[in-house]
């Protein structure tokens, strides 16, 4: 990747977009539009996306929280062109928000509920067309407002290993610096050597592979009360990313592809040292009788081949030397309800008490610059 030629001090490693109301009409081929998500009304007259004709509509509220006080946040009653801020789906408006919040750049993840809705159809061509439409809009419309500040994370569809590899190469051709998986590249429920062509291509192309909250195939089987939904979301990444890490390391993926970089997005950092300690302990105890001989200790792969983004993690920052300073990436989660706009700099100040400037700069921008080859 070519350097951007720009200096950065504050980069959000995990921000989001919400689909504009006309995304599918403008970007999805006409023959598929009858099965595209539909805009309907929620119980308060707000806008909501109907992703599945048999399921409940998904309101906009908590994924469109721009400057809304915490005691005013709710799911329903939010409407495009009214109380939904245009920065959630318009690149030029987003740049204004970044300037107010003091953020130099951000890496952008899509609405997973929209992306995954296309997988409900058996028509693979529709699935691919839906994901392509989203990627095209993100790259050619939203991020075109300033490609040196708004970086698209290319969504890889769940259509088997050949399509995954082809889409990864397409991402590289379009200049994307990162991709995101929702399932294993092969589309199977478990990691296997069928996924190796994707890891090989990612290493060759030097494209980091993101997993936002882990993978859909590592789902916690647990029913929570509605009032716990926000808290469950906050820890879901920890629960789902752990199995991904263990599977990748102990299957020898990084011995075969040592240049592969995997990013755990919105999963936090403070838990990483404990996982590292436990993996090393189990490796020493079990490696002989299971016939496992890795080239490094499991904990070393965590430092060499992984990075993790957080939104709020003061404990993780205090434990940064155990986590690995060069594996940590700050993020805003904007415009989801976890964001602190317009007070991101105040949140940073609370996190970085007595942290040396060189370490602070790595977490706030330097690690992103290195991992994504921005400079």
What are the tens digits of pLDDT across the range 311-364?
999 999 999 999 999 999 999 999 999 999 999 999 999 999 999 999 999 999
> Which residues fall within 8 angstroms of residue 151, CB to CB, at 6 or more apart?
105, 106, 107, 108, 143, 176, 177, 178, 372
pLDDT value at position 97?
A: 98
Read off the pLDDT band of 215 (50, 70, 90): confident
Give yes or no for residue 22 having a pLDDT over 90.
Answer: yes
Distance CA 133, CA 129 (A): 6
Beta bridge partners of 154: 179
Q: Supply the pTM of this predicted model.
A: 0.94
Answer whether residue 35 is part of any domain. Answer: no
Question: Can you give the pLDDT at residue 181?
Answer: 96
Tell me the residue range of the domain where 168 lies. 12-18+87-371
Cβ(252)–Cβ(258) under 8 Å? no
C-alpha distances in Å from residue 357, one per residue of 100, 143, 352, 361, 367: 23, 30, 9, 6, 14
Q: Is the peptide bond before 335 cis (omega within 30 degrees of 0)?
A: yes
Considering only CA atoms, give the Rg of the chain: 20
Residues in the chain: 375
Classify residue 23: in a domain, yes or no. no
DSSP 96-155: HHHHHHT--EEEEE--HHHHHHGGGSS-HHHHHHHHHHHHHHIIIIIGGG-TTTEEEEEE
Q: How many CA atoms does the CB half-sphere of 48 hold within 13 Å?
A: 19
Give the dihedral of Cα atoms 314, 316, 322, 327; nearest 10 deg: -120
The alpha carbon dihedral of 116, 117, 122, 126 has a sign of negative
Residue 263: phi and psi, rounded to 5, are -115, 125
Residue 31 resides in a domain: no
pLDDT of residue 53: 80
- Report the DSSP pairing between strands 328-330 and 38-41: unpaired
Provide the pairing of β-strand 47-50 with 178-181. unpaired
Residue 270, domain CATH: 3.20.20.140
How buried is 354 (Cβ within 10 angstroms: 0-12 exposed, 13-18 middle, 19+ buried)? exposed
Using CA atoms, how far apart are residues 108 and 147, in angstroms rounded to an integer?
Answer: 12
Cα–Cα dist 47/68, whole Å: 17
CA distance 6 to 364: 15
Q: Which residues are CB-contacts of 8 (< 8 A; sequence separation ≥ 6)?
A: 104, 105, 365, 368, 369, 374, 375
The mean pLDDT of 44-69, rounded to a whole number, is 92
Q: How far is CA 218 from CA 36, 41, 111, 183, 254, in A?
A: 26, 32, 19, 9, 20
Render pLDDT for 151-186 as a digit per residue (tens, 0 to 9).
999 999 999 999 999 999 999 999 999 999 999 999
Q: Is residue 34 part of a domain?
A: no
Domain count, the chain: 1
The answer to whether position 137 is within a domain reads: yes
Q: Is the pLDDT of residue 368 over 90?
A: yes
The three-class DSSP label of residue 51 is: coil
Candidates 142, 99, 176; CA nearest to 373 is 176
| Choice among 90-94, 121-125, 146-150, 327-331 with the minimum mean pLDDT | 121-125
Q: Are 156 and 168 in contact (CB under 8 A)?
A: yes
Q: Is residue 72 in a domain?
A: no
Q: Quick check: is 29 in a domain?
A: no
Give the pairing type, strands 38-41 and 11-16: unpaired
Distance from C-alpha of 175 to C-alpha of 169, rounded to nearest angstrom: 10
**41, 58 Cβ separation under 8 angstroms:** no
Task: Give the model's pLDDT for residue 120.
Answer: 85
H helix count then E strand count, the chain: 15, 11
The Cα–Cα gap between 333 and 324 comes to 22
Give yes or no for a contact between 68 and 136, defined as CB atoms under 8 angstroms apart.
no
Look at residue 198 and tell me if it is in a domain. yes
pLDDT band at 78 (very low <50, low <70, confident <90, very high): very high
User: Cα separation of 375 and 373, whole Å?
Assistant: 6
């Amino acid at each position: 990747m070519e350097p951007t030629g720009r200096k950065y001090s504050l980069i959000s490693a995990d921000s989001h977009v919400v689909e504009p109301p006309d995304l599918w009409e403008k970007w999805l081929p006409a023959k598929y539009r009858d099965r595209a998500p539909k805009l309907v009304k929620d119980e308060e007259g707000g806008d909501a996306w109907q992703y599945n004709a048999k399921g409940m509509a998904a309101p906009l509220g908590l994924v469109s929280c721009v400057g809304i006080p915490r005691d005013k946040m709710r799911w329903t009653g939010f409407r495009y062109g009214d109380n939904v801020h245009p920065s959630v789906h318009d690149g030029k408006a987003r740049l204004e928000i970044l300037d107010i919040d003091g953020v130099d750049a951000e890496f952008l993840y899509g609405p997973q509920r929209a992306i995954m809705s296309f997988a409900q159809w058996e028509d693979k061509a529709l699935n691919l067309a839906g994901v392509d439409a989203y990627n095209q809009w993100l790259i050619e419309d939203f991020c075109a407002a300033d490609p040196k500040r708004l970086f698209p994370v290319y969504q890889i569809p769940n259509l088997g290993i050949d399509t995954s590899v082809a889409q990864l190469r397409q991402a590289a051709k379009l200049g994307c610096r990162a991709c995101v998986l929702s399932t294993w590249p092969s589309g199977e429920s478990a990691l296997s050597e069928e996924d190796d062509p994707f890891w090989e291509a990612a290493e060759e192309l030097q494209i980091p592979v993101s997993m936002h909250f882990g993978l859909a195939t590592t789902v916690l089987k647990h029913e929570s009360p509605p009032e716990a939904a926000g808290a469950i979301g906050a820890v879901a990444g920890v629960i789902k990313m752990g199995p991904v890490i263990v599977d990748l390391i102990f299957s020898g993926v990084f011995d075969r592809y040592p240049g592969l970089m995997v990013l755990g997005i919105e999963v936090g950092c403070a838990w990483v040292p404990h996982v590292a300690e436990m993996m090393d302990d189990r490796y020493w105890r079990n490696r002989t009788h299971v016939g496992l001989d890795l080239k490094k200790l499991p904990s070393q792969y965590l430092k060499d081949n992984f990075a993790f983004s957080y939104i709020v993690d003061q404990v993780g920052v205090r434990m940064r030397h155990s986590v690995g300073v060069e594996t940590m990436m700050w993020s805003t989660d904007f415009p989801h309800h976890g964001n602190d706009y317009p007070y991101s700099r105040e949140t940073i100040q609370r996190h970085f008490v007595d942290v040396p400037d060189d370490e602070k700069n790595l977490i706030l921008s330097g690690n992103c610059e290195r991992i994504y080859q921005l400079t």
